[in-house]
A and B are shown apart, each in its own frame.
Chain A
Amino acid sequence: EDKVVQSPLSLVVHEGDTVTLNCSYEVTNFRSLLWYKQEKKAPTFLFMLTSSGIEKKSGRLSSILDKKELFSILNITATQTGDSAVYLCAPSRAQKLVFGQGTRLTINP
């Protein structure tokens, strides 16, 4: 059975802090791993990772995948209150996404 575990489940930090969100997975026919930000209903795409060791960056966010150890991390530097959201990790198998339970990130001013 596919398994995706995100940690921590909840995180509260101050504005300006750096956070690291973790995702470990066991998914058959793994193809890629996607990260999403969910603020209301629809998840917003952040990154797709397919190769180990290659960091993807977008502004203050970055992410990397380790296909040998079956995990990924999402880093957010210089956090802002607008980063408050649930962050979802989703490995894919043949375009089907298997979601973790998410990390609820709260940034306090």
Chain B
Amino acid sequence: SAVISQKPSRDICQRGTSLTIQCQVDSQVTMMFWYRQQPGQSLTLIATANQGSEATYESGFVIDKFPISRPNLTFSTLTVSNMSPEDSSIYLCSAWDGDTEAFFGQGTRLTVV
């Protein structure tokens, strides 16, 4: 199946700063998805990123806090802005390999201190 390279793998950041997470897919995909997994919780969809248009955000998530870029069909970034300790989570990007499998990047473990 296709592969997503996600970086950074982990980071420890100061509150009030921003972090940009990158995902590179080894094939072209129409949509990419960004998920968050807070400690002890399951995965929650943040937004869907389409090339050439603004990302679509799920309820409870806003563009000012989680700006997303999708410059081409193989790459996307998610920025976590003005971070607080509540943003400490695992962030995951995802895409579909055709219609048969949704696969994930390796994840970014973010700790905000």
Contact = CB atoms under 8 A, between A and B. Distances in A.
Interface of A: 34, 40-43, 45, 48, 88, 90, 92, 95-102
Contacts, number: 51
A41 B92 contact: yes
B14 interface: no
Nearest to B31: A95
Given A95-B31, A99-B42, A99-B43, A42 B48 contact: no
B109 A41 contact: yes
A42 B42 contact: no
Nearest to A40: B107
A90 B103 CA distance: 12
Contact of A97 (B100, B102, B105): B102
A96 B45 contact: yes
Nearest to A98: B45
